[in-house]
């Protein structure tokens, strides 16, 4: 699911990939307005499926981090207000979600972005964070 959810540099929120054309992508806002727009090759686009968070040993895919947040919050939106929370509160929240996260390389802004994206996805009915392709690969073996 996260492979089709995109973050676009310079544009707020998240977008769902609708279709591809020769030199552009057609995306739809994940937010309630569902506005569609073209995204060109010059725009910096990254799939949420390609993002990972640093830990002391390795990197953890964003899907697993979002799944941890979902378990902590029982599938509801995060109760912590990331806009008003102090850096200590945000890092304490992150320590609960991903205890082994790298405190030097994961910045406060990264934690805010994580909470913002999680809340946006949950509010718009996108709560299946685990990638189905991993399960399908195991079934094929």
**Residue among 66, 36, 32, 37 at smallest CA distance from 49:** 66
Could you give the CA distance from residue 101 to residue 64 in angstroms, rounded to a whole number? 12
- Check if the beta carbon of residue 27 is closer than 8 Å to that of residue 8: yes
Instruction: Output the pLDDT for position 92.
Output: 94
**Residue among 133, 54, 73 at smallest CA distance from 62:** 54
Partnered with residue 53 across adjacent β-strands are: 60
Instruction: Output the pLDDT for position 1.
Output: 72
pTM of this structure: 0.83
Q: Return the structure tokens found at 6.
A: 């995109």
**Residue among 111, 126, 129 at smallest CA distance from 71:** 129
| Domains of the chain, start order | 2-48 (2.30.30.730), 51-123 (1.10.10.1650)
**C-alpha 123, offset from chain centre:** 13
Alpha helices in the chain (DSSP H): 62-72, 87-97, 108-123, 132-140
Per residue of the chain (141 residues), what is the pLDDT tens digit?
788 899 999 888 899 999 998 889 999 999 878 899 999 988 999 999 999 999 999 999 999 999 999 998 888 889 899 999 999 999 999 999 999 999 999 999 999 999 999 999 988 888 777 754 444 334 334
């Amino acid at each position: 699911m996260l492979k089709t959810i995109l973050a676009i540099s310079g544009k707020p929120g998240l977008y769902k990939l609708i279709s591809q054309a020769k030199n552009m992508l057609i995306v739809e806002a994940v937010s309630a307005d569902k506005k569609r727009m073209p995204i060109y090759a010059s725009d910096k686009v990254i799939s949420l499926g390609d993002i990972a968070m640093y830990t002391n040993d390795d990197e953890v895919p964003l899907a697993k981090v979002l799944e941890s947040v979902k378990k902590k919050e029982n599938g509801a939106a995060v109760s912590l207000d990331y806009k008003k929370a102090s850096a200590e509160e945000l890092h304490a929240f992150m320590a609960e979600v991903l205890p082994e996260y790298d405190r030097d390389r994961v910045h406060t802004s990264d934690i805010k972005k994580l909470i913002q994206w999680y809340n946006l996805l949950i509010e718009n009915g996108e709560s299946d964070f685990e990638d189905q392709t991993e399960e399908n690969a195991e079934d094929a073996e």
